[in-house]
């Protein structure tokens, strides 16, 4: 097989394309569940699936970090590659600080906003809390800004998880949304 190189702009467009498809997939599943089971039960099922998805992401990252001989502390989360988001094409720009991260131009959030479905799209955003707690249940990554809340960018904060957040994370049936109450309506 011959090696073919593409430029960064083309690669970003490809990541953007698959990201929009992921956004559409989430929207399709979520709308189907809400249509079939009603708003309350349907959203609860979507959140349950997103939590399970995030938990698996966090678990894979935790495994990788431990294999590297590192502790599962917040500062080590980004030292792994397991199931991470792409470095380019998902956002137009990312700014990192110690316990804060700002993401501009989220392809997913912009897609849901353009479709007039930010409320349903926002349910996907709970993956951030779930993946972080799956990595280390003593910490949670929450939003203080979100494109799906009509903010100009997403801003994430890492905090110590409360007893209530840990209980919601561990429960199979509890409503997971209070874990990141900024995203709640």
Give the pLDDT of residue 121.
96
| Domain boundaries defined on the chain | 8-183
Average pLDDT, the chain: 91
pLDDT tens by residue, 24-71 = 999 999 999 999 999 999 999 999 999 999 999 999 999 999 999 999
Give the pLDDT of residue 14.
86
CA-based R_g, the chain, Å? 17
Which H or E run includes 132? helix 127-135
Q: Is 65 left (phi over 0), alpha (psi -120 to 50) or beta?
A: alpha
Report the CATH number of the 8-183 domain: 3.30.1380
For the segment 9-30, the average pLDDT, to the nearest whole number, is 91
């Amino acid at each position: 097989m011959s090696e073919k190189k593409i430029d960064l702009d083309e690669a970003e467009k490809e990541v953007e394309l698959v990201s929009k498809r992921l956004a559409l997939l989430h929207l399709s599943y979520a709308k189907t569940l809400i249509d079939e089971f009603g708003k309350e039960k349907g959203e609860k099922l979507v959140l349950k699936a997103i939590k399970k998805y995030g938990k698996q992401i966090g678990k894979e990252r935790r495994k990788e970090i431990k294999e590297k001989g590192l502790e599962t502390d917040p500062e080590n989360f980004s030292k792994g590659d397991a199931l991470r988001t792409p470095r380019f094409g998902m956002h137009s720009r990312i700014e990192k600080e110690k316990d804060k991260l700002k993401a501009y131009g989220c392809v997913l959030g912009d897609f849901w906003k353009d479709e007039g479905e930010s409320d349903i799209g926002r349910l996907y955003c709970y993956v951030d809390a779930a993946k972080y707690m799956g990595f280390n249940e003593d910490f949670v990554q929450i939003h203080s800004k979100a494109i799906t809340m009509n903010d100009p960018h997403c801003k994430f904060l890492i905090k110590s998880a409360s007893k209530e957040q840990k209980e919601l994370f561990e429960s199979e049936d509890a409503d997971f949304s209070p874990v990141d109450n900024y995203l709640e309506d």
